[in-house]
Structure 1
Amino acid sequence: MLPEVVFVLGAPGAGKGTQCSLISEEFDFVHLSAGDLLREERQRPGSEYGEMIEEKIRNGEIVPVEVTCSLIHKAMEKSDKNRFLIDGFPRNKDNLDGWQRVMSDKTKLLFVLFFECSRELCTSRCLGRGAAGSGRSDDNLESLQKRFNTYMNDTLPIINHYDKLGMVRRVNAESAPSEVFEHVKKCFTNLDVQS
């Protein structure tokens, strides 16, 4: 049986990571954050991609899709599960094309979970996270402006692409995490239960 995938998209600070943790607990999905996988790879001693990943993240740019897909695929293989939340991917047309080229025959996309949240709220959440010591080199105003531009120009067209295919489930992410999760649950409760 092909591994089942839900893409989780939304602006920086929309609450993707928080909601993915809750979904993982409740619905037995493995949470794979494209950003976390890239940050781990960047930290890994002797990584051939580390320096390039650091530079891309700092500049709010997107890492080449082959690198991201290979990290996602490795993480899926290491897990003993069959259902995955892929958080923060695909972020642009190159990601989408790369996924379709490399992964579409190895996985089954269930739907795209899209968290809608205003830029102002997302910015204040990210800056708050940075001030609280998130350890992320991109939780600052300068990187955030670049990340938002990337999101608006590159990621929104991907969401629109999947929307035209009827695969997007939208959730308003502006309220407290527990309230948002009540809406998220509705997106998952009607999935066929398979183990």
Structure 2
Amino acid sequence: MIQNMMNEGKLIPSDITIRLIQKAMQETDNDKFLLDGFPRDEENVRTFEKLTKIEPDFILFLDCPEEEMTKRLLSRNQVKFV
């Protein structure tokens, strides 16, 4: 189901995304986590806190020009040889 939604360009529902994140968090011995690209909105935050019973210490939001975001997104799947 998740792969089909991604192929269609749809966002995965928050509760499913959060359950996957929670499972990954529980499968490690770490007690500190950096979730890159999550939460995406206030609904994600509320659902995360409700389902996990965890309140993040802080959320770091980085803002950059749209041109830079586009450049970075388009280069994500490129292999770079050094």
Q: Secondary structure at the match of 2:59?
A: strand
1:104-144, Cα deviation, whole Å (9 max, x unpaired): x2x241111111111111111222233x25xxxxxxxxxxx
2 CA distance for matches of 1:101 and 1:121? 34
- State the TM-score, normalizing by the size of structure 1: 0.36
Larger radius of gyration: 1
Query: What is the DSSP-based 3-state SS (H/G/I as helix, E as strand, rest coil) of the residue aligned with 1:115?
Result: coil
- Cα displacement (A) at 1:74: 1.0
Mapping 1:48-59, distance limit 5 Å: 52-59=1-8
Give the TM-score of the pair, scaled to structure 2. Answer: 0.76
Identity of aligned residues (%): 35
The CA deviation string for residues 25-66 of structure 1, in whole angstroms up to 9 with x for no partner, is xxxxxxxxxxxxxxxxxxxxxxxxxxx222332344321122
**Unpaired runs of 5+ in structure 1?**
1-51, 134-195
Query: Counterpart in 2 of 1:115?
Result: 62
RMSD: 1.9
Question: 2-side partners of 1:57 and 1:129: how far apart?
Answer: 16
- Asked if 1 retains the 8 angstrom alpha-carbon contact of 2:18 and 2:48, the reply is yes
What does 1:32-181 align with in structure 2 at a 5 Å threshold? 52-103=1-52, 105=53, 107-130=54-77, 132-133=78-79
SS of 1:95's equivalent?
Answer: helix
Structure richer in strand, relative to its length:
1
Gaps in structure 2 of 5+ consecutive residues: none
